[in-house]
Amino acid sequence: MEEHEIVTIAEYQATAESFREGTWNHDVSQNRNALVDAMPRNPGKILDLGCGPGRDLVAFKDQGHQVIGLDATPAFVNMAQQISGCEVWQQSFLNLKLPPKSFDGIFANASLIHIPRAAMVRVLKDLKRSLVSNGAIVMSMIRGDHEGYSVRPSGYRYVVGWEYKSLAPCVEQAGFEIFDYYYRPPGLPCEQQSWLVIVALNRVQY
């Protein structure tokens, strides 16, 4: 595991309870709905990539989807399993071991923000291989052009900011077709929307 991963996971591990309390009521239904609307089946099989404490596992499961979580932070894996009753895999994003052609959708909500720019295409290719034909991915990313450690009271998180013009070529180079993109939170002027969301499809016929 690379140094930036170890440091970032350690910070999440140390703050797992406060992270759960601080994010559980965040409304990301817009992103969940964008994934479901783009998937080839509804209900379908979904991978929640970077599932954290399990908020979206619960939401997808309640909608009738078969959902599996994945996170690199041990505390989040335990939390997510307990609260959702779903299968949760402990894996690093840079060393994914995913079953091929298995998921109708991948939900990457504020998780791929920790992938270095130089590794993004490789990671997206790994994810694409796990999608069925016409499967969908939703990526919610912090906007900006920064890359490096974000200093927090409890440690550091490695964070990368993207804009559409910088991220879209990576998504397409990985073999995805971009279906849609938008900015969040809704209702604000674009310059005040700090999140970019891309919806992309695996346009491959098996």
Q: What is the pLDDT of residues 3-25, one digit of tens each?
A: 999 999 999 999 999 999 999 99
User: What does the DSSP assignment read for 163-197?
Assistant: -HHHHHHHHHHTT-EEEEEEEESTTS-GGG--EEE
Per-residue pLDDT of 81-100, as tens digits, reads 999 999 999 999 999 999 99
What whole-number distance in Å separates Cα of residue 106 and Cα of residue 81? Answer: 18
Q: How many other C-beta atoms can be found within 10 angstroms of the C-beta atom of residue 172?
A: 14
Instruction: Give the domain ranges of the chain.
Output: 3-202
pTM: 0.96
pLDDT of residue 191: 93
Per-residue pLDDT of 136-174, as tens digits, reads 999 999 999 999 999 999 999 999 999 999 999 999 999
Residue 105 pLDDT exceeds 60: yes
Residue 206 pLDDT exceeds 50: no
Q: How confident is the model at residue 205 (pLDDT cuts 50, 70, 90)?
A: low
Which of 3.30.70.1450, 3.40.50.150, 3.30.1370.100, 3.40.50.11890 is the CATH number of 3-202? 3.40.50.150
Which runs of E-coded beta strand occur in 29-186?
Answer: 45-49, 66-71, 88-90, 103-109, 131-142, 147-152, 155-160, 177-184
| DSSP-derived 3-state class of residue 200 | strand
Residue 204 pLDDT exceeds 80: no
